Structure 1
Amino acid sequence: MSEVCALFISDLHLQPAHPATSAAFFDFLERHARHAQQLYLLGDLFEYWAGDDDIADPFHTQVVAALRAVSDAGVAVYWVAGNRDFLVGARFAEAANLTLLPETWIAEIGGQRVVVLHGDAQCTQDIKYMEFRAMVRQPAWQAQFTAMPLAQRKAIVAGLRADSRKEQSGKSYEIMDVTPEAIAEVFAETGADVMIHGHTHRPALHHIGDKRRYVLPDWEADATPPRGGWIAIDAQGAITRHDLSGAVVQ
């Protein structure tokens, strides 16, 4: 593989309760991300984000410093919001020295026209989630929420997470997965040849005619066996999937 142009990760759900996953992330940044030209974080880097005023939390400070070190090494770092950390804003971006991207972003990488996104907006069969998503992505809702005391916001988030776990236990994988229609719409609107997204925790490569859709894995290095990995695009446009060890996944 020639020089790495871009690396893509998502769904790490970083939290102090999962130290092995955090350690795997820091190792990835040091051993791999620092040597790429670009790093794309495609959502749910954190288990949750209650607002940028939580950046002083010691664990969050550690994550921000690690990202900043990658950026300071000359790597362009990009952020696409996930369903858990869509409240990441300008203060976080400035501290980590990264660029906040819109929900759908088109990039020319290694001669490939690539569209990147988190993937939750394409799970259109999950009606209740789509209604919730439409509400919390409104600037007015976010302004009202972030005006609350941080402790209150964290308590609300904890309740929402508990409710989400209960609801997901009764939903089929099909409902929580992206729909072919929504994926086709993104390809049609962007003219992309390649799509990379996360969210579903169902890593795979899907061929759709002459298009390719890559799904990133979630990270759980504390699990047995451990899960996680990334996608790389080199200067020649070759795309490879990697597990946590860095080995290529066929």
Structure 2
Amino acid sequence: MKSISVPIGKKVYFASDNHLGAPTQEQSLPREKKFVAWLDEVKEDAAAIFLLGDLFDFWFEYKTVVPKGFTRTLGKLAEITDSGIPIFYFVGNHDLWMNGYFENELNIPVYHTPQQFKINSTTFFIGHGDGLGPGDKGYKRMKKLFTNRMAQWCFRWLHPDMGVKLAQYFSVNNKLLSGEEDIHFLGENKEWLVQYAKRKLKEKHCDYFVFGHRHLPLEITLSATSSYINLGDWISYYTYGVFDGTKLSLETYVH
């Protein structure tokens, strides 16, 4: 379990599901500028920042090429890590194919599976949330293809102009991939990430289970001492999590 100490007056921030580039670069630019403005504000008192995936609507790293765009965001992330504030990134279902660029260029560790963190004396179970729990069966089958090394090797042989354009088309139009088929609250008993968190809680206590992916800002009590938090998104809600050293809460960015 990784440990982070939050000094008095500092906070830890969590955000997820920006889907920059969707449905077009031009249409996502105002959202990107808003996110960068948020990063500018939180860096003033941030002890750490967690980004829980789908920052981009599509991201694929060729050996010497990454997708065009997102200069404002990437530059701001580099500025923050250069200042000494750690950023932790968890890949989502739209950016599964990270392979060293964030680590080498931005000094941001990238996680492909959920991780446990201890922040001060509070325990966190953190991940994007895709493919977890009893549901999401269609996506689980698709993810096996996405993470297949042979499939990725074949995709790399496409010229980036063709590969990225093709992937962006499916990313925007495939409801199974985008999650648009269930962006409404299903009820606690049908929320598969809630069910997943409850199952993990039986194995080991955790104060907070923090996920993205669902695009819904949710705060659900699992027990007297444990909660499930879904961060929402930066498309409709502009919500984020903030931990003040004692308590995690959801807030909305107004800019």
Q: Give the C-alpha shift of residue 95 in structure 1.
A: 1.4
Whether the 8 Å contact between 2:61 and 2:97 is mirrored in structure 1 is yes
1:207 to 221, 231, 238: 221
Corresponding residue number in structure 2 for 1:154: 164
CA offsets 1:32-70 (integer angstroms, 9 cap, x no match): 13531111110000111132554362x233321110001
Question: Quick check: 147-156 or 94-103, which moved more?
Answer: 147-156
**Pairing 1:84-233 to 2, within 5 Å after superposition:** 84-122=94-132, 124-165=134-175, 173=184, 174=186, 177-189=191-203, 191-210=205-224, 211-220=226-235, 227-233=237-243
Q: Give the C-alpha shift of residue 91 in structure 1.
A: 1.9
Corresponding residue number in structure 1 for 2:4: none
Unaligned runs of 5+ in 1: 221-225
Whether the 8 Å contact between 1:110 and 1:233 is mirrored in structure 2 is no
Q: Does 1:38 align with 2:48?
A: yes
Corresponding residue number in structure 1 for 2:20: 14
Q: Give the C-alpha shift of residue 217 in structure 1.
A: 1.4
Q: Which amino acid aligns with 1:207?
A: T
Q: Give the C-alpha shift of residue 171 in structure 1.
A: 5.8
CA offsets 1:95-131 (integer angstroms, 9 cap, x no match): 1221112311111113111010101122542321110
Whether the 8 Å contact between 2:47 and 2:86 is mirrored in structure 1 is yes
SS of the counterpart of 1:158? helix
Whether the 8 Å contact between 1:177 and 1:200 is mirrored in structure 2 is no
SS of the counterpart of 1:212? strand
Whether the 8 Å contact between 2:11 and 2:45 is mirrored in structure 1 is no
TM-score, normalization by structure 2: 0.82
Whether the 8 Å contact between 1:42 and 1:118 is mirrored in structure 2 is yes
Write the distance in 1 (CA, Å) between the matches of 2:34 and 2:121: 30
CA separation of 1:177 and 1:145: change in aligned 2, threshold 3 A: farther
Whether the 8 Å contact between 1:204 and 1:214 is mirrored in structure 2 is yes
Write the distance in 2 (CA, Å) between the matches of 1:172 and 1:101: 25
RMSD: 2.7
CA separation of 1:190 and 1:82: change in aligned 2, threshold 3 A: farther
Q: Give the C-alpha shift of residue 189 in structure 1.
A: 4.7
Corresponding residue number in structure 1 for 2:3: none
SS of the counterpart of 2:198? helix
Corresponding residue number in structure 1 for 2:253: 244
Whether the 8 Å contact between 2:59 and 2:66 is mirrored in structure 1 is no
CA separation of 1:108 and 1:85: change in aligned 2, threshold 3 A: same
Question: Structure 1 runs of 4+ off > 6 angstroms?
Answer: none
2:86 to 76, 86, 93: 76
Whether the 8 Å contact between 1:34 and 1:70 is mirrored in structure 2 is no
